[in-house]
Amino acid sequence: MSIHTSSDSQIGRFQIEAEIGRGGMGVVYRAIDPSLGRPVAVKLLAPHLDADQTAQRRFQAEATAVARLKHPHIATVYEFGDHQGHPYIVFEWAEGRTLRSLIEADGRLPLARALKIFAQIAQALDYAHQRGVIHRDLKPANIMIGPGDEVTIIDFGLARMASAANVTVSTAFFGTPRYSSPEQIQGAELDGRSDLYSAAVVLYELLAGMPPFDDPSLPALIHKQLNVAPPLISEQRPDLPIAVERALARALAKQPAERFARLSDLAEALGAASLAASLAAKPAGSARRLWLAAVGGLTMLGLLVALVPTLAPRPATDQPPTEAALVADVPAPISPPAHDGLWPMGAGGPARRRELPTPLEPLVTTPRWSHNPRTSDLGPMVAGLGQVYFRARWSSLRAIDWASGESAWEAELDSGIIGTPALLVSEEQALLFAALDGPRLVALDAASGEQIWLSPEGELEGQISADLVLGENGLLYAISEAGQLSCLDPWSGAVNWQIDLSSAGQFYSAPAVTAEAIFLTSSDDSLLAVSADDGTLLWEAALLGTSNDGPLIDPGRNLVLVGTNEGRLHAFFADSGAPSWVAVAEGGIAGLAADADQIYATTYDGAAYAWSAEDGDRRWSLDAEGPISAPPLADGAHVLVATEAGELRFIDAASGVEDEAARLSFQSPLTLPAIAGGGWLFVQSGFIYGFGP
């Protein structure tokens, strides 16, 4: 029985055009969002499940989980709601055909094309896993292939927050047995290695034209998944390198502990095999791409997602390529970055304004250096003391010299790193803080990477879900997804106080901090202010939509500003929570920045806006001609807008006109914000690049 009928042509505000698919969890329609004129995918809970409270909770968990994911290879969630008693969720409409259709039309794929598709899948899944989301139903039918083999993963229909504390996880089996891991079939607790198994099955099918296991009998198929070793890929493709066969065999191991830990590890193993095969087949002297001077050290993700068209042979030397290479034919910088420059937190400071203290000098549009991290697990950066710090792998922090891009140190930690680190600098010592999976916090000596303290197990409740923030009072603040706000002494790690805010919902965005208060946004569409002294709740205000970026402080006007996924920019008075003004953007707001006079926003639909900080009057808007995931950056003279097309645009703050001569272009999407330090700009796009004046 169908939920939608010809007489029911609308779900919420969305005008239904056609039913495009259905599965065990729901029915999917193509629809039009009349307010923006764009196509969307609307999914309704299946009729036989909508009376099942467990299914409805699962559907709500899906919507909340996927709404947090902002990645170029994952279909964006716009909103969710209820239609005549049926929950629904609205996704980005992904153009193209499914990977299932591609396989049926083209059969087995060449290794290079298969790995290019797989690299994008790996990037997206690693990103989701780092945020506690498991897909649980990865298969060719849930992977869209657009022009140029661009991948979009759709229907995280069985995604479950791995860290959710308020949902009872059923041991019932959900998924597609042909692609499901053995532990998923057995109803065991899952982690990202289950998705890794499914992705390996998909890659096997891309290369062989068939999955490793298939049988018309469901019991027989399940028996094979649980008990039978997968046939070697060489039985179908004897032309493939032996390293590809070994990597696939490991990824398809029955026991999760025997597989790769992350998709990026599998991609690197596959990439090494592909690179070796390509180099063996290429004549010496093949052209190399300008920015990729040390191509021998490229990871598969960096190699394929960046779409490098040619591969250079390894240098004829016994010395390995350096991690950072100065770009050929680029003049030496006039001067290195100023040593006293500082970008100590993800949004620049506790007020989260993403504002540079002085305008950037005109930058040379070719990078002074590039750093090859040799991983796809890159996390957001902070900078200070002549170094740039970032998560280099799932459980390691790295520091690089910001004048050369050379590695300074790398610290391997006990568990995965969540969010952006925070840097505290004093005359005596500088500390680098990170939130770990567990949950725990760690402090390292910023100069050496040596561990200073590690919070005890059980001291924090719930997974830390957002960037750490250092207040102007010298204290460290951390918010967990479950709503526990902790205030710690940064030098010892001792907890000063903790407060439970779980009654206000879940928390996914970093707080903004002043000397008097801490401001937080919750999943219940609210903004909270608590005392910076003891965590006492001061006030709470309602928002029109959910904030994915968190609040921003305008101290001169005593305002707290929040952008929402409904395209609203709220301004509240910081001392009382009373509304000051509301502005409107056409599309969900990805992030905010501010200078002395204006508030800036980027939207997921690809626009940039400027409003008067005084009254919310719109000054200008700009169409960036493509999606945007990263928040803007302001320096008083310009607004820097990073696009998923791989462009960093410099917009005149007063007029909204782009300085096209200053535009920086990259081979990979820009999904993380650029940061500044010492008059230089640091950008992540597969590699890390340093731009100087």
Residues 6+ apart with CB under 8 A from 217: none
Select which of 33, 50, 137, 549 is catalytic. Answer: 137
Whose structure tokens read 């070697």? 232
CB atoms within 10 A of CB 274: 23
Q: Phi and psi (nearest 5°) for 250?
A: -65, -40
Q: Which residues contact 289 (CB under 8 A, 6 or more apart)?
A: 295, 308, 309, 310, 667
d(CA 85, CA 45): 10
Residue 137 bears catalytic tag: yes
| Integer Rg of the chain from CA | 25
- 10-11 and 14-22 strand pairing: antiparallel
What's the burial of 207, exposed, middle or buried (CB within 10 Å: 0-12/13-18/19+)? Answer: buried
526 is written with which tokens? 């609210």
- Beta strands 160-161 and 133-134 are antiparallel
Q: Which two tokens stand for residue 529?
A: 């202010």
Residue 319, judged by CB atoms within 10 A of its CB (0-12, 13-18, 19+), counts as exposed
Q: Which residues of 55-64 are buried (b: 16+ CB within 10 A; e: fewer)?
A: bbebbebbbb
Helix 263-281 to helix 192-208 angle (10° resolution) is: 30
Q: Mutual orientation of helices 263-281 and 242-251 as an angle, nearest 10°?
A: 170
Distance CA 388, CA 407 (A): 10
Handedness of CA 107, 108, 113, 114 (dihedral sign): positive
Distance CA 626, CA 648 (A): 12
- By three-state DSSP, how is residue 623 classified? strand
- Confirm if 484 and 501 have CB atoms less than 8 A apart: yes
End-to-end CA distance of the chain: 65
- Tell me the Ramachandran region of residue 370: left when phi exceeds 0, alpha when psi lies from -120 to 50, beta otherwise: beta
CA 621 to chain centre: 25
Which residues on adjacent β-strands are paired with residue 13?
A: none
**332 token code pair:** 């030496």
Q: CB within 8 A of 665, min separation 6: which ones?
A: 646, 647, 648
| Residue 280 vs residues 266, 286, 287: alpha-carbon distances, Å | 22, 12, 15
Q: Is 41:31 a contact under the CB 8 Å cutoff?
A: yes
Question: DSSP characters for 36-84?
Answer: TTEEEEEEEE-TTTTT-HHHHHHHHHHHHHHHT---TTBPPEEEEEEET
The kind and range of the H/E element at 573 are strand 568-573
Give SS3 for 318: coil
Q: How many CA atoms lie within 13 A of 105 on its CB side?
A: 8
Q: Quick one: how far is CA 91 from the chain centroid?
A: 17
Following DSSP, what letter does each residue of 486-531 receive, concatenated? EEE-TTT--EEEEEE-GGG----S--EE-SSEEEEEETTTEEEEEE
CB 11 within 8 A of CB 32: no
Query: Which tokens is 268 given?
Result: 């690197």
Contact status, residue 36 vs residue 605, Cβ threshold 8 Å: yes
Active site residues: 137
